[in-house]
Structure 1
């Protein structure tokens, strides 16, 4: 009996750990609008944050999507019924638009870059009606670029039982609505260049860039930037923190960076397209 109880506890622990430990954001759950948040595009008259966080190649990535599932929905169910049933309803003056109870909603995420995965806070990403939940995006990206990440939902409804004159009884069953995309995010993973040693810690991101690359130094250092002809285009002494390498100032091309700290030299490169 003790072994069975221990196995039961281990099973519960496994199920608990297999679900995400994220929490829904009350900023979005308080809106009372079903869907996935934050929105990918601006909702009129609703000034809330947009999109997902950007990431850096090789660095830990974490972000959370908030899910809001309502209790019921009003819709035209004509496309779910046989055409003969719809015709009979029209002849009988019965509207095909009605309020339907939602049983559950299933969410799915596609298009994430290699190294980043998603995990829901409920088993199989299936949420009962009138539930708030979340999806955690996490991992270490192994590729850079801009990725289209669609989030889809499949709504399972309860079709009401109806006795249609001239047709007969219909409904009273669970029905999956066609899966549709509720949000499509643009996830940008910059191809940063990072180096960590005892003398200097720095990173350049995004790399490559089309406008501005940011050089971040954790320790004071001298920075010299050269173009492919060997000409010096930037020379900074004893700097620390963020340094912006602007296309408007140095132009596009391949650049080499020499970072000097404590009589040690470290070289890297970046590209402005």
Structure 2
């Protein structure tokens, strides 16, 4: 039985990777570095939301070394967090560890089911990695602003029956994970199908757990026969 579980979850990993690849088609017409589109799609409370954000990494940045500002070439750019997402939404990177290389357009997927109406300003927190004089590594944090998502709807909260699937957020996650849409306590499995025993807390239908001690990688959340994938950074 344990072997069967392993096979099932390995198949889910393969399927998830395939689905991600199919859902992300980079817009190769983008030539100017930045995050696109400039205007993100609006959403509705209780309705599934999906928005693909295209990323073309910046080629250079300025850093202060020895009291003087220097212009350096960026080796890679890492998305560390999407700040300000509406409740019920999360994000998935289509690059390992959310690291984006210069001169290549790649994707971020914003998705989920919004649970509360409002206007939500978004910020993409990034870290640019470069080398000063070609050998001294530096990490320069920055924030990409001027984005927002507008969620409309007649009610601020959705009912339990309107949730079609499990929602895990934030995704990727570093410390604390939240899970909605579960009628019973969710269970966590790693990519090999082994169950992970974590203390899950529930409040008003929202489950949470501390995942800071888990190793980085792909995990699965399952409840009432429904599975969803999430990433631990």
**TM-score where L is the length of structure 2:** 0.54
Q: How does 1:25-40 map to 2 (within 5 A)?
A: 25-26=26-27, 29-39=28-38
1:104 and 2:76 aligned:
yes
Segments of 5+ residues of structure 1 without an aligned counterpart are 40-50, 87-95, 162-171, 194-273
Q: Which has the higher contact order (CA 8 A, sep 6+)?
A: 2
* Cα 1:59–1:19 shift into 2, 3 Å: same
Would you say the 8 A contact 2:30–2:56 is kept in 1?
no
* Cα 1:147–1:126 shift into 2, 3 Å: same
Deviation (angstroms), 1:18: 9.2
Would you say the 8 A contact 1:22–1:135 is kept in 2?
no
Counterpart of 1:124 in 2: which secondary structure? helix
Deviation (angstroms), 1:14: 7.5
* Cα 1:62–1:126 shift into 2, 3 Å: same
Deviation (angstroms), 1:128: 2.2
Segments of 5+ residues of structure 2 without an aligned counterpart are 156-233
Distance 2:87 2:149 in 1: 12
1:23 and 2:16 aligned:
no
1:170-224 deviation line (CA, Å, top 9, x unaligned): xx122111x222233221111237xxxxxxxxxxxxxxxxxxxxxxxxxxxxxxx
Would you say the 8 A contact 1:19–1:119 is kept in 2?
no
Q: How does 1:1-12 map to 2 (within 5 A)?
A: 10=10
* Cα 1:76–1:21 shift into 2, 3 Å: same
* Larger radius of gyration between Structure 1 and Structure 2: 1
Counterpart of 1:13 in 2: which secondary structure? helix
Distance 1:159 1:109 in 2: 28
Deviation (angstroms), 1:15: 7.6
* Cα 1:82–1:18 shift into 2, 3 Å: farther
